[in-house]
Amino acid sequence: MTNKEIPREMPVYRLGEIDFRVDARQRLLTDLRKPENIIKLDDLQFAEGKYIAYLDKEGRLASVTGNIGTEYELPQMVLLDPEGMAKVHGKTIEEISQLSDFDLLVDKDIFNERIGGRKPTLEIMGTTFSVDSLEGTLTSETSQILLFELDIYIKDDYYEFPYNTESKTVTDIDFDTITLIPENTVWVRIPLDYQLDPVGWALLIGTDPKDACVNHRPKTEMSAECIPWKNTKVYEIMER
């Protein structure tokens, strides 16, 4: 006979009048009444050691439903489900009791290097840019992109914009008159400023960099994604 691990009963946490099952492995809470209603911790703001959720009367995220929300504070996952966090991270419950979500989720070396001044890098079509969300810049050896210039190109959780592979910067396109795709231009997708450089972004808005990094883990190297023109609306715009 083989020893099988007995499934444990996951803890339950109440928000308002609604009970949610806590899942440390997937970092989410599931409504016991309506399992389709899920709250992902990574979708919540993390501030001063707590997750902040705005829920409507049905217990759904107000940011998703567009309804008026009531603010709720959720403890860190190490408090919501210490046993689950211990299993996920290969530690004892006693060890978990001495740690925070930041301690378990964030690469300390990357975080400390960024605090010390090392900026993350972003490669766009073979060119390496230094990222600084505090200054709002992407800087290569020969060019610079200002992040505020990309605000008009925000789509969902990304910047998507026309990039000139010769000048290494944003292509200036007049979408009211465009009839041809400009030469040496590709369409690229990159993370938003708080994802590119969460430490710099936190310093910009005056919040704790550790809080910012709980949900937006800092990285040292990233790469842009090239989007085929056929997957954009540019051809549709040119036809009009």
| pLDDT tens track for 73-100 | 999 999 999 999 999 999 999 999 999 9
The pLDDT of residue 1 is: 43
This prediction has a pTM of 0.86
Burial class of residue 51 in the structure, from the number of CB atoms within 10 Å of its CB (0-12 exposed, 13-18 middle, 19+ buried): buried
Q: Report which DSSP code applies to 61.
A: B
**Alpha-carbon span 14 to 29, nearest angstrom:** 10
Q: Is 173 left (phi over 0), alpha (psi -120 to 50) or beta?
A: beta
Closest listed residue to residue 75, CA positions, set 97, 98, 55, 46: 46
Task: Tell me how crowded residue 240 is: count the other CB atoms within 10 A of its CB.
Answer: 9
Question: For residue 233, is pLDDT > 80?
Answer: no
Question: Which pLDDT tens digit goes with each residue over 33-84?
Answer: 999 999 999 999 999 999 999 999 999 999 888 888 999 999 999 999 999 9
Residues 183-203 have a mean pLDDT of 96
